[in-house]
Structure 1
């Protein structure tokens, strides 16, 4: 089967009783590859590129709690909790070990999957992300102010420009699948924001045993590329690659180059 098929969601039940939707695409005989989306996004974050991995992989996505078809509880939002939800999906599928590729907040979640459940991760890819905590390099004050505007249209425009270059935006009209799940209830959106902001895996990263590839756009202002050497220094078996001219959604705008790097790394 190809990556364009629309098999229905399946559901995993977490240990705290939350129903988490997940989606499997590609050849069922392929090596399992978990794709983890950014903050406040569902599995459609990956729609533009997931089929690029179906030559060798069976891709697995999920709707984080609070997004998509998953339950939206009032609490339980943190990157370690999201990581445990990922493992719950692997358990539901009977998958003992998978490759894990997380971008943005998904990269933060992927750090915890690899650190807390090292036996479940064969290879790890971290994209446009950071270790979190006081030693991470945060976005500058002008970006924070722009994203905190009261006008939602202005915020969406700012986020679009942080994700993509002007040339790419001009050639690729909306909609974009990386600007947030419009169906999220407000409490879940706040929960995702708090989860991402409170992420701090600094002390856990040295326990990651999976070979790790770190990818980042060198023009990323949403998550500054200065976080790349921090991650690379904390993870024992890590290599890093900066994509010239790329912003936060490097995996989509620089699809060919980024996809080739990931496929080569995963083997």
Structure 2
């Protein structure tokens, strides 16, 4: 693990693994780079996999305020600049998909291709989890069981007893609240049409945390976006269904490497 410091003085921890074309991974709410531990080996074969801890997670600083998907996207851009990477492919899941949207909209020259999973555009047009599921998550007595059930199918957890990298990291109260607010306040609905890079959207058919209809809404708003629904997948489909999801992502990324970048004059 290495660190760098952003313009506002925040220390950000990051990690690079593998070699080849750069691929930036963006994790979910309340999680840092460990979110990707089960999946990163699938992606490292011919790619330089880059991931980092959001402020408030892992080895990064935990400022008392200033959390937003825009800020996380700017941190990602600062990391790419720190590494001397002019453009890369980006894969974000859950809140990481929202950060990916902000990254390509705020720093379009840095993103060559975009993959998003189990995410939404946010705002009033997004479809949200049921009130019953939200109540279980809000109850300290049922939170862990509820979150596990939203992430994975019972059959999968029976065969894979954990611990699970996606269930959140120890963090300060300010960071937990900050991440939740960052995700809740995200809204790119009116700007999605400006995304001009190849885009692949994946979602689990049985995702109750971020209902699968959000994937169709994203695909309709982003020009030329490709959509794939993973049958039986829940919110952490990218881990539980990795034997289907990871090859699909790799196939898409391989295609983008042989396609000219839009606006390149080719």
Corresponding residue SS for 1:102: strand
- Answering whether residue 29 of structure 2 is matched by residue 42 of structure 1, we say no
CA distance in 2, matches of 1:47, 1:188: 21
TM-score in terms of structure 2 length: 0.94
Aligned to 2:50: 60
Cα distance, 1:56 vs structure 2: 1.5
Corresponding residue SS for 1:142: helix
CA distance in 2, matches of 1:95, 1:248: 30
> Do the aligned residues in 2 keep the contact of 1:12 with 1:88 (CA within 8 Å)?
no
Deviations 1:136-185 (A, max 9, x none): 1111111111111132xx20111001000011000001211000012x11
- Answering whether residue 72 of structure 2 is matched by residue 108 of structure 1, we say no
Kindly report the root-mean-square deviation, in angstroms, between the aligned alpha carbons of the 2 structures.
Answer: 0.8
Corresponding residue SS for 2:113: strand
- Answering whether residue 148 of structure 2 is matched by residue 156 of structure 1, we say no
Cα distance, 1:207 vs structure 2: 1.2
Aligned residues: 254
CA distance in 2, matches of 1:23, 1:234: 33
> Do the aligned residues in 2 keep the contact of 1:14 with 1:88 (CA within 8 Å)?
yes
Aligned to 1:232: 219
- Answering whether residue 157 of structure 2 is matched by residue 165 of structure 1, we say no
Deviations 1:95-141 (A, max 9, x none): 01010000000000000001111111011001000000001111111
- Answering whether residue 243 of structure 2 is matched by residue 256 of structure 1, we say yes
Runs ≥4 residues deviating over 6 A: none
Cα distance, 1:65 vs structure 2: 0.4
- Answering whether residue 198 of structure 2 is matched by residue 208 of structure 1, we say no
Partner residue of 1:218 out of 205, 208, 221: 205
TM-score in terms of structure 1 length: 0.94
Corresponding residue SS for 2:219: helix
CA distance in 1, matches of 2:104, 2:121: 13
What runs of 5+ residues in structure 2 fail to find an aligned partner?
255-266
CA distance in 1, matches of 2:205, 2:162: 24
CA distance in 2, matches of 1:120, 1:231: 21
Deviations 1:54-111 (A, max 9, x none): 1211100000000000000011100011000000110110001010000000000000
Corresponding residue SS for 2:123: coil
- Answering whether residue 183 of structure 2 is matched by residue 196 of structure 1, we say yes
Cα distance, 1:245 vs structure 2: 0.5
Corresponding residue SS for 1:204: helix
Cα distance, 1:237 vs structure 2: 2.3
CA distance in 2, matches of 1:248, 1:37: 13
CA distance in 2, matches of 1:224, 1:94: 37
Aligned to 1:77: 67
CA distance in 1, matches of 2:51, 2:109: 20
